[in-house]
Amino acid sequence: MNLTFKLNTGHSIPLIGFGTYQIRGNHLINETLDYALKAGYRHIDTALVYRNEEHIGKALQTLLPKYNLKREDIFITSKLISQYNKDERFIEELVLKSLDNLQTEYIDLFLIHWPGVNGLQVSHPDNVPYRKKAWKVLCKLHHEGKCRSIGVSNYTVKHIRELLEDCNGVRPAVNQVEWHPHYFQLELLELCKTEGIFLQAYSSLGTSLSTDLRDDPVVGEVAVRLCRSPAQILLRWAIERNVGIIPKARSRDHIEENIALDFEIPPQDMELLDGLRVTSGAKYAWDPDTVV
């Protein structure tokens, strides 16, 4: 399934990506990326804090030739979390370290991972200037071609509006947020659509610590009706809204299952799934709403 979305920078991002959170180690990364590339994934999502960039870079040197692929055939996303009491040069070095780890001259998409500064309270006044500083650095690297597109992650409506007021002439291309039938923000989706920002979902299947989302009876009913797995229903639900997904998986079966989304969910079933936000409202990841 080769669905793409045209970013405001002119580059195309695959709607379906391969998430690598909590997947680390040379052997495991090589094995899972091998499965993913064979299944058709062309977008790899990582981050500095995942501690697997170096393993991904090493694996791609072997796996791309194996599948007759070149660097330009894949899309790589990475992210950074701003550090307290660090200058712009330090932030730039973090991005350059990602480039070195991934053994690439450019990263397709680089995100600010979190609207707050690591180590500070969510209400700390330094969060605002550090967000601005990090964006300024990413803009510089974007203009230099080291980051083809830049964006944010876990930004709420207020954080997006703040950034758009002073974005150094470079608008965010992507906002990556928690998004699934139990928890989604229509106001954020509409704002991103209006401003030309691609919304990308993480935790589409919940988390490894909870199966509540995948075990939801309504999700199960729709899955049975459409002869699909609950995971496929949850992932396709996002695709129906043109929201990108980056599900992670370790087994070959799950990796193949997560990209087999060439079907449609009927409007009446989409309504049932949308209604879960009211009946459940469960959030499974960190909450940026209180970050000043």
Locate the domains of the chain by residue range. 4-207+243-249
Mean pLDDT of 4-9: 96
Look at residue 84 in the predicted model and tell me its pLDDT: 74
What is the spatial distance between Cα 28 and Cα 55, in angstroms, rounded to a whole number? 9
pLDDT digits (tens, 9 = 90+) for 35-91: 999 999 999 999 999 999 999 999 999 999 999 999 999 999 999 987 777 899 999
Neighbour-count burial for 235-249, b at 16+ CB within 10 Å, e otherwise:
bbbbbeeebbbbbbb
**Active site includes 21?**
no
Q: What is the pLDDT of residues 206-224, one digit of tens each?
A: 988 889 999 999 999 999 9
Entry pTM: 0.95
Please tell us whether the domain made up of 4-207+243-249 is placed in CATH 3.40.50.300: no
Out of 21, 35, 41, 50, which one is annotated catalytic? 50
Give the residue-averaged pLDDT of 165-186: 97
Above pLDDT 70, what percent of the chain?
99
